[in-house]
């Protein structure tokens, strides 16, 4: 599992919010929702969204391009397994950011995942996640759909997780018992048990499916409720395809189908709240431009971000395309990231929570150089 | 300082069950465990683990081979598909070894006397993560755990590192069997046929980053690439594996190995190796299979490896707040003994006994301790042979041990990231994780423990606060659950 | 005369030169603005070339919801004013990243349809009628994917109640979903780590009763030994990934 950290050190910035609502809000706080899908292992952005208009794609990758990508525009295509997502693109409720990455070039999963969740340039340098901090400033709640609570969401005033139990002959523990257990604990454990006591995992007791599709449905259903969580985090693992990654079909394409259906399930389950939602993917890094010797790709740099939701008005591919000629690659092997993905995260926070861009980059990311891409995604 | 023997046994092991004989000199006993030969103390009360369920690597491959051969035969037959599936399923069930491997993990944690060694086994199994049963690895993960890691816990780290790195499970898990030297014979012939052939750097990267020196060593991408070149040729596709062994002469010519075990444990194919010298972190390695041992030796001896692993051991037993001084004791021993694991583990024991820091127990450690300390019959004892393993609830079989490990998110056989399970407390603190612990505690209670919640609290010198809370529990089940789910039991 | 002539000529030259200077200044203003964006106007030489024209048109198009622009050299003054005015900083921001509009021309096709529930290769005789049977759908690896009750009326199956198992097919674990969960088996099927269930939009599949018309030649299968009694028959269904399910009827009455 990913290394994740403590969240309490956020106490100082939280204090700055005592006069809430503060100047950080550009507009009336809106009831926006953010869903992050963490693609664990490093998604191959060139396989998902192939720049079919770039001749160098076919020179660099002999086998790893789907034979029948759907053409989005003269430069970009999309893997045919993203059928639902393609429909969303067509109906202006999805967008793509290409040649992008969190500011991490080290090619380690574990450092990269830490950066993608903490939003800090230096791995393992903070105990909270960028989303958790943003939630703290905007005073909103969220859930992770996993057995543990990922770093991404830590730092939020109220964060929780959901992952239904499947142990035969047991039932949800009773509140009185949980409260007694709580009395023996302090700190983080006590806080978690307190949430358990307040029945934060409520939901149909028979729904025990825990695959990403079912969890997506569950997330959408609870987020469309009036006082439901406004943030959800979902993980799809196993993108680390060093061998036999696939092209038209294969392992990565199967994951594309899964991801595509997760988008679809979220939309269906959110119902009218889809209009107030932005779903975005994150991944720790892209993969090498050239295939390796095992018909897979190794750890790289630039990848792609997929976004969907009713908060988008006009679909597009946002990219300062760096090119795929060998001279254009990062260290002659990886797609360059020309957009800091934290810009995309900031734009989503701005759109969903109504926080001001300058406030977000200063307080959430502590980096004033992060550019604003709000207009490009939501404008 | 752990004056309470029961607490001390939990700090470094799985605690004492009501049936355990408590050693008089607990330190001598711990060290004796380390020095003892496998199997160390044998099993207490429930009899020895049946020898027929200890599988050698040879037996594992033979079972796999038999199953694959049978499956291919059935699939070629002209019979009803359902009947085919039924036969294949039956054959697979017959061939499976991983269920015994999982039972053994449970059985050893709950009944074996060498509890410190069992904890070390869990630590190193997690350090060298191989997971994700894919039809092949589920046959060999148990071999890595019991025949490689367990048997080398007293040896030198360079032996362990080499054996793990060249193990078929690791080679398969991190894709090395598909990594072929770009200038190898096989790559050339594949390219002639229009196929792609070359390296991937999965194992090379994790060998440096996770298993040995860590990114603190600041190696370059070229170092990783050249490590991959040293590794190329190691690992054989399962299908070829048995075929190549059957083609004994050919194999003998390539590797010089004559025994099956040697063959599967050093699966090096010259035709896939990258010819020529390679330079990794400034040191030159020759071509040929012996380069890997030289490389792992260099990595094992590296100062950054000593730092990385001393810290990791300290964190595992002492907790996240292990002090620099505590880490240093282990590190100094590592350096002085040149990575002699017996010495390093003794040093770990020493700092663990002296520390005031507490470790929030891994879910599986907590669960095994709960079963063992309470004396619950969570696993049916194995004296009858064969009938063990399932959790008993009023005599009715319920859950496979593997399923429970999945439920608590701590399954050494599961598909997971190669950095293994986290040692950080917060990664295991969530409402869902705590919900699971309460449910598991309830299941253990219903499996008939011989110690009550109050008795456990007295035995382990729980705080007055926790004892008071236990007394407030309504009924013996609640009291029992509170005791196991209290901070006093979860952290030691 | 000559003097006047000269003056006129001078005036004309000045006039021409003057407007030229003016025009170059506006082009330069646009070019300088564009060099701080990703829309490359070529060298900032004040000359209205093709590059400058393309770049400014692309920027303004992107800023105006991809509406195509037709900015020419004659618009330079107006554009320069816009760029230097209140909208300048927003245009500068927009100019930092390129947007490529979506223009999908191909038909993406129907994604979810009733035929996703595809048992069409199961054949059943039209004269078979049972009030009530138990049914099971079992993956070729032995995992049960669904169970429930079904009636058969002249060879047509009428699903009465049913429960579908979700979860990772490759792990074989059973995670029961309640029948109200709107689940169905799709022809994306069970393959690798993909679960076979997905959410069904309202109105796509009748629930809780589903009707499936089967073919004409229902073949009685041999009775599997692990069913004790009353097995009526079974047939197979292969999804597009090649995963096979057995659709099994039993305990008919």
Closest CA in chain B for residue C238: B81
Structural element, H or E, at residue A259? helix A251-270
Pick from B83, B89, B406: CB nearest C142: B89
Number of domains present in the structure of chain C: 2
* pLDDT at C155 > cutoff 70: no
**Buried b or exposed e, range C5-33, using 16+ CB within 10 angstroms:** eeeeeeeeeeeeeeeeeebeebbbbbbeb
Structural domain span for residue C177: 114-250
Residue owning tokens 């009360």: B45
Nearest 5°: the CA angle A346, A347, A348 is 90
Distance between A338 CA and the closest CA of chain B, angstroms: 22
Nearest 5°: the CA angle B167, B169, B171 is 70
* pLDDT at C40 > cutoff 90: yes
Nearest 5°: the CA angle B417, B423, B426 is 100
Distance between C30 CA and the closest CA of chain A, angstroms: 20
Closest CA in chain C for residue B135: C170
Task: Retrieve residue A44's tokens.
Answer: 């191959």
Chain A residues whose CB is inside 8 A of the C108 CB are: 70, 83, 86-87, 90
Same domain membership, residue C243 and residue C176: yes
Closest CA in chain C for residue B79: C222
Same domain membership, residue C216 and residue C128: yes
| Domains in chain A: boundaries | 32-114+231-262+272-349+362-378
Same domain membership, residue C127 and residue C73: no
Distance between B405 CA and the closest CA of chain C, angstroms: 13
Chain B residues whose CB is inside 8 A of the A194 CB are: none
> Tell me, what's the pLDDT at A171?
72
Chain B residues whose CB is inside 8 A of the C222 CB are: 80, 83
Neighbours of B (≥3 Cβ pairs closer than 8 A)? Answer: A, C
Closest CA in chain C for residue A318: C99
| Domains in chain B: boundaries | 174-300
For residue C252, the number of C-alpha atoms closer than 13 Å in the C-beta half-sphere is 16
For residue B473, the number of C-alpha atoms closer than 13 Å in the C-beta half-sphere is 28
Chain A residues whose CB is inside 8 A of the B182 CB are: 293
The candidate with the shortest Cα–Cα distance to A184, out of B448, B158, B472, is B472
Chain B residues whose CB is inside 8 A of the A287 CB are: none
pLDDT mean over C100-119: 65
Local confidence pLDDT in tens for the 492 residues of chain B: 788 999 999 999 999 988 888 887 877 877 777 776 544 333 344 556 778 888 998 888 888 888 888 888 888 888 877 788 788 888 888 888 888 888 889 888 888 888 899 999 999 999 999 987 667 888 899 999 999 999 999 899 999 999 999 999 999 999 898 899 999 998 998 888 887 788 999 999 999 999 999 999 999 999 999 999 999 999 877 666 666 555 544 545 445 555 667 777 778 888 889 999 999 999 999 999 999 999 999 999 999 999 999 999 999 999 999 999 999 999 999 999 999 999 999 999 999 999 999 999 999 999 999 999 998 876 554 333 333 333 333 333 334 677 788 888 899 988 888 899 999 999 999 988 999 999 899 888 887 889 999 999 999 999 999 999 999 999 999 999 999 999 999 999
Pick from A166, A176, A242: CB nearest B407: A166
ipTM computed for the complex = 0.87
Distance between C169 CA and the closest CA of chain B, angstroms: 13
Interface contacts B/C by beta carbons within 8 Å = 22
Residue C42: CB partners within 8 Å, gap ≥ 6?
A: C31, C49, C51, C52, C55
- Helix-strand-coil percent breakdown of chain B, rounded to 5? 60, 5, 35
Top residue of C174, C224, C248 to mutate, by most chain B CBs within 10 Å, is C224
Rounded distance, CA C245 to CA C227, Å? 17
Rounded distance, CA A193 to CA A201, Å? 12
> Judged by CB atoms within 8 Å, which residues 45-84 of A form the interface with B?
62-63
Tell me whether residue C100 is in a domain: no
Chain B interface residues (partner C, CB cutoff 8 A): 80-83, 85-86, 89, 403, 406
């Amino acid at each position: 599992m990913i290394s994740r950290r403590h969240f309490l050190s956020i106490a100082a910035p939280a204090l700055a919010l005592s006069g809430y609502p503060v100047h950080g809000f550009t507009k009336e706080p809106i009831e926006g929702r953010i869903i992050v899908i963490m693609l664990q292992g490093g998604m191959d952005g060139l396989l998902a969204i192939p720049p079919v208009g770039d001749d160098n794609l076919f020179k660099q990758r002999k086998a790893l391009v789907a034979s029948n990508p759907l053409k989005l525009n003269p430069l970009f295509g999309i893997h045919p397994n993203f059928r639902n997502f393609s429909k969303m693109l067509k109906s202006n409720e999805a967008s793509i950011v290409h040649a992008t990455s969190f500011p991490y070039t080290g090619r380690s999963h574990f450092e990269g995942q830490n950066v993608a969740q903490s939003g800090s340039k230096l791995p393992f340098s903070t105990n909270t996640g960028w989303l958790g901090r943003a939630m703290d400033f905007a005073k909103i709640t969220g859930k992770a759909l996993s057995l543990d609570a990922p770093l991404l969401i830590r730092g939020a005033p109220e964060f929780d997780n959901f992952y239904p139990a499947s142990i035969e002959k047991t039932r949800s523990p009773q509140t009185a018992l949980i409260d007694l257990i709580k009395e023996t604990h302090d700190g983080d454990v006590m806080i978690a048990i307190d949430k358990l006591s307040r029945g934060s995992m409520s939901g149909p007791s028979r729904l025990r499916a825990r695959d990403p599709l079912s969890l997506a449905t569950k997330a959408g259903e609870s987020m469309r409720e009036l006082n439901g969580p406004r943030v959800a985090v979902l993980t799809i693992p196993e993108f680390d395809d060093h061998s036999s990654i696939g092209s038209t079909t294969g392992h990565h394409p199967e994951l594309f189908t899964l991801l595509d259906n997760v988008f679809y399930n979220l939309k269906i389950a959110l119902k009218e709240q889809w209009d107030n939602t932005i779903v975005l993917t994150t991944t720790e890094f892209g993969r090498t431009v050239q295939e390796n010797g095992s018909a897979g790709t190794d750890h790289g740099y630039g990848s792609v971000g997929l976004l969907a939701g009713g908060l988008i008005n006009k679909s597009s591919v946002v990219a300062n395309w760096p090119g795929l000629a060998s001279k254009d690659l990062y260290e002659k092997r990886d797609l360059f990231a020309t957009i800091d993905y934290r810009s995309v995260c900031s734009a989503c926070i701005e759109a969903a929570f109504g926080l001001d861009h300058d406030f977000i980059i200063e307080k959430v990311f502590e980096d004033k150089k992060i550019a604003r891409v709000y207009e490009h995604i939501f404008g | 300082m752990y004056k309470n023997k029961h607490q001390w046994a939990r700090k470094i092991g799985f605690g004492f069950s009501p049936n355990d004989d408590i050693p008089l000199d607990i330190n001598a006993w711990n060290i004796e465990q380390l020095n003892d030969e496998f199997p160390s103390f044998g099993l207490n009360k429930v009899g020895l683990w049946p020898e027929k369920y200890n599988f050698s690597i040879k037996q594992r491959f033979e079972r796999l081979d038999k199953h694959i051969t049978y499956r291919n035969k059935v699939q070629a037959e002209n019979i009803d598909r359902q009947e085919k599936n039924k036969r294949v399923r039956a054959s697979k069930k017959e061939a499976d070894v991983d269920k015994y491997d999982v039972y053994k993990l449970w059985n050893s944690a709950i009944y074996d006397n060498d509890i410190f060694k069992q904890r070390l086994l869990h630590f190193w199994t997690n350090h060298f993560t191989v997971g994700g049963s894919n039809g092949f690895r589920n046959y060999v993960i148990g071999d890595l755990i019991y025949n490689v890691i367990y048997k080398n816990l007293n040896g030198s780290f360079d032996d362990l590192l080499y054996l793990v790195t060249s193990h078929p499970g690791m080679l398969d898990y991190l894709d090395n069997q598909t990594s072929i030297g770009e200038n190898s014979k096989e790559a050339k012939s594949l390219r002639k046929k229009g196929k792609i052939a070359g390296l991937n750097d999965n194992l090379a990267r994790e060998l440096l980053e996770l298993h040995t020196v860590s990114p603190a060593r600041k190696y370059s991408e070229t170092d990783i690439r050249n490590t991959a070149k040293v590794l190329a040729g190691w690992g054989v596709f399962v299908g070829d594996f048995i075929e190549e062994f059957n083609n004994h002469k050919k194999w003998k010519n390539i590797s010089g190995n004559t025994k099956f075990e040697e063959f599967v444990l050093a699966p090096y194919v010259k035709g896939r190796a990258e010819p020529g010298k390679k330079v990794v972190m400034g040191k030159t390695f020759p071509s040929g299979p012996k380069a890997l041992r030289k490389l792992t030796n260099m990595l094992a001896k590296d100062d950054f490896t000593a730092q990385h692993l001393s810290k990791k051991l300290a964190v595992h037993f002492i907790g996240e707040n292990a002090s620099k001084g505590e880490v240093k004791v282990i590190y100094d021993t590592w350096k002085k003994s040149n990575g002699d694991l017996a010495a390093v583990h003794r040093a770990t024991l020493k700092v663990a006994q002296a520390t005031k820091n507490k470790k929030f127990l891994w879910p599986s450690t907590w669960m095994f301790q709960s079963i063992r300390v309470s004396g619950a019959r969570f696993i049916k004892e194995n004296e009858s042979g064969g009938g063990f393993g399932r959790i008993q609830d009023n005599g009715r079989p319920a859950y496979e041990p593997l399923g429970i490990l999945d439920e608590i998110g701590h399954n050494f056989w599961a598909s997971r990231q190669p950095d293994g399970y986290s040692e950080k407390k917060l990664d295991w603190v969530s409402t869902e994780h705590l919900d699971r612990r309460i449910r598991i505690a309830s299941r253990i209670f219903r499996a008939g423990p011989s110690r009550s919640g109050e008795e456990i609290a007295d035995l382990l010198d729980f705080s007055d606060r926790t004892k008071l809370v236990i007394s407030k529990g309504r009924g013996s089940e609640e009291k029992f659950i509170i005791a196991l789910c209290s901070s006093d039991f979860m952290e030691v | 005369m000559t003097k006047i002539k000269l003056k006129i000529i001078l005036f004309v030259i000045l006039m021409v030169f003057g407007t030229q200077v003016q025009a170059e200044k506006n082009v330069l203003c646009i070019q300088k603005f564009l060099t701080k964006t990703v829309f490359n106007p070529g060298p900032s030489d004040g000359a209205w070339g093709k590059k400058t024209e393309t770049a400014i048109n692309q920027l303004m198009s992107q800023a105006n919801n991809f509406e195509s622009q037709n900015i020419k050299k004659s618009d330079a003054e107006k554009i320069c004013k816009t760029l230097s005015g209140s909208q300048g900083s927003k245009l500068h921001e927009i100019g930092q990243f390129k947007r490529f509009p979506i223009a999908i021309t191909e038909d993406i096709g129907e994604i979810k349809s009733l035929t996703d529930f595809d048992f069409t290769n199961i054949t059943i005789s039209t004269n078979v009628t049972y009030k009530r049977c138990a049914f099971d759908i079992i993956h070729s690896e032995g995992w049960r994917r669904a169970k429930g009750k079904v009636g058969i009326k002249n060879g047509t199956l009428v699903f009465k109640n049913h429960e579908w198992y979700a979860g990772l097919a490759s792990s074989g674990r059973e995670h029961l979903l309640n029948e109200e969960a709107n689940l169905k088996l799709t022809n994306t099927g069970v393959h690798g780590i993909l679960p076979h269930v997905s959410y069904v939009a309202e109105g796509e599949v009748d629930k809780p009763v589903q009707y499936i018309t089967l073919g004409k030649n229902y073949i009685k299968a041999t009775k599997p030994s692990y069913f004790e009694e009353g097995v009526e028959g079974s047939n197979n269904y292969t999804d597009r990934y090649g995963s096979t399910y057995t659709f099994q009827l039993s305990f008919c009455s």
